[in-house]
């Protein structure tokens, strides 16, 4: 009898022990279970107070990870090491992920706040009917510059102005293949969706000539460096520029008239998600006007949420640099999903340019 009791106690201790080990492993590996939501977002792309609010409202544990390019995000999701419940890719990548069967169709009945989204941002070609993705932020690629640091004769209006020999070591570039090859293509009056090898090589060679003017090719840290007057010019995304401009009044943002990129970053649920219910809950939480407005005022990107715009500081919403009028939007191009090979070629050229920078 005593032996049986001892055995039972040992078994009980083992079971309880295993339960805790398993729980710890799950937490540290970002495992999504019924009480956990795992989010994969761009760096600096969500007000942390909103995350706290979501946790408090739902009682869920949130695991939050960030990426700095669509390509890096794709690799991580394809590898499947972590089961993300939410990711926030851009349009061409969403299209690619749909094609590769990596996304889960969304249940619009669970998204009552979807009605707040401006119809202009719904039903776009990369995801007809928004079957797989829900608008989060949108923006452009442009030039942010510091009028106090630059010689007053320097004009920054066109992409070609970046190649001015007087701008030696003055430019930060965002570390992203399509953005950098894109503006070089635009400077040559080519589409930033071209798949023509000659045009792409010409754009890459033109970038090589920009090398003396480039101070660094970087990610989110560009914001702090520009705010601290470390360089006069940055080529980056609009919302990052807006945030810099809030902290440094000498900065301004231009969209060159020969064209640039307009992007749409949407929330998706990867097929490997473990907590589909909570993922829908999070999407709807972010669609709530007061939350979308708070997020946009914190992050600086443009919100596609019409009801949120009404709650926001009119100075932000009426700023045409970040909410450009239709006439400007018409000059902008959305990245298309160019297919595996072409995307690889863009990445290859960008890598070559970065590695052989003299």
Among 240, 304, 309, 316, binds ligand N2P (CB under 6 A): 240
In angstroms, rounded to a whole number, what is the distance separating the alpha carbons of residues 43 and 40?
Answer: 9
Residues paired with 233 in a beta bridge: 145, 171
By CB under 6 A, which span of 43-51, 76-84, 97-105, 278-286 interacts with ligand N2P?
43-51
Among 44, 118, 258, 336, binds ligand N2P (CB under 6 A): 44
If you search the block for the tokens 């090398």, which residue do you land on? 211
Site for ligand N2P contains 90 (CB under 6 A): yes
H/E stretch holding 276: helix 276-287
Quick one: tokens of 254? 């231009």
Among 40, 42, 136, 282, binds ligand N2P (CB under 6 A): 42
SS3 state of residue 199: helix
Site for ligand N2P contains 45 (CB under 6 A): yes
Minimal distance, residue 286 CB to ligand N2P, in Å:
15
Minimal distance, residue 301 CB to ligand N2P, in Å:
7
If you search the block for the tokens 């201790």, which residue do you land on? 13
Instruction: For ligand N2P, give the closer residue by CB, 69 or 82.
Output: 69
Among 67, 237, 322, 346, binds ligand N2P (CB under 6 A): 237
90 closest CA partner among 177, 29, 201: 177
Among 71, 85, 127, 265, binds ligand N2P (CB under 6 A): 265
* CA within 13 Å, CB half, 37: 21
Site for ligand N2P contains 43 (CB under 6 A): yes
If you search the block for the tokens 């006069």, which residue do you land on? 232
Site for ligand N2P contains 121 (CB under 6 A): no
Applying CB under 6 A, what is the total number of residues that bind ligand N2P?
10
Instruction: For ligand N2P, give the closer residue by CB, 62 or 218.
Output: 218
In angstroms, rounded to a whole number, what is the distance separating the alpha carbons of residues 107 and 79?
Answer: 26
Distance of CA 50 to the CA centre of its chain: 17
For ligand N2P, the binding residues (CB under 6 A) are: 42-45, 90, 220, 237, 240, 263, 265
């Amino acid at each position: 009898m005593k032996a049986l009791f001892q055995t039972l106690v040992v078994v009980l201790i083992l079971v309880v022990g295993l339960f805790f080990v398993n729980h710890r492993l799950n937490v540290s590996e970002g495992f999504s279970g019924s009480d956990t939501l795992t989010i994969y977002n761009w760096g600096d792309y969500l007000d942390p107070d909103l995350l706290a609010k979501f946790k408090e409202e739902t009682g869920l544990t949130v695991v939050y990870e960030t990426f700095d390019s669509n390509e890096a995000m794709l690799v991580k999701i394809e590898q499947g090491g972590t089961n993300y419940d939410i990711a926030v890719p851009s349009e061409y990548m969403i299209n690619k992920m749909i094609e590769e069967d990596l996304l889960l169709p969304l249940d619009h009945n669970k998204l009552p706040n979807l009605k707040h989204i401006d119809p202009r941002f719904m039903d776009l070609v990369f995801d007809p009917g928004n079957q797989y993705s829900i608008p989060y932020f949108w923006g452009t690629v442009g030039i942010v510059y510091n009028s106090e640091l630059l010689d007053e004769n320097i004009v920054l209006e066109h992409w070609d102005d970046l190649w001015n020999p007087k701008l030696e070591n003055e430019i930060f570039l965002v570390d992203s293949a399509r953005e950098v090859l894109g503006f070089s293509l635009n400077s040559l009056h080519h589409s930033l969706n071209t798949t023509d090898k000659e045009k792409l090589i010409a754009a890459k060679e033109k970038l090589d000539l920009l090398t003396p003017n480039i101070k660094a090719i970087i990610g989110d840290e560009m914001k702090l460096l520009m705010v601290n007057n470390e360089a006069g010019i940055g080529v980056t995304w609009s919302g990052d520029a807006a945030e810099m401009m809030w902290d440094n009044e000498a900065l301004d943002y231009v969209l060159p008239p020969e064209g640039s990129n307009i992007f749409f970053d949407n929330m998706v649920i990867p097929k490997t998600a473990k907590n589909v219910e909570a993922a829908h809950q999070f999407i709807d939480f972010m669609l709530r006007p007061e939350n979308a407005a708070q997020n946009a005022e914190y992050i600086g990107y443009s919100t596609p949420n019409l009801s949120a715009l009404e709650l926001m500081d009119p100075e932000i919403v009426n700023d045409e640099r970040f909410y450009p009028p239709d006439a400007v939007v018409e000059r902008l191009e959305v990245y298309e999903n160019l297919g595996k090979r072409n995307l690889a070629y863009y990445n290859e050229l960008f890598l070559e340019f970065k590695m052989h920078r003299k």
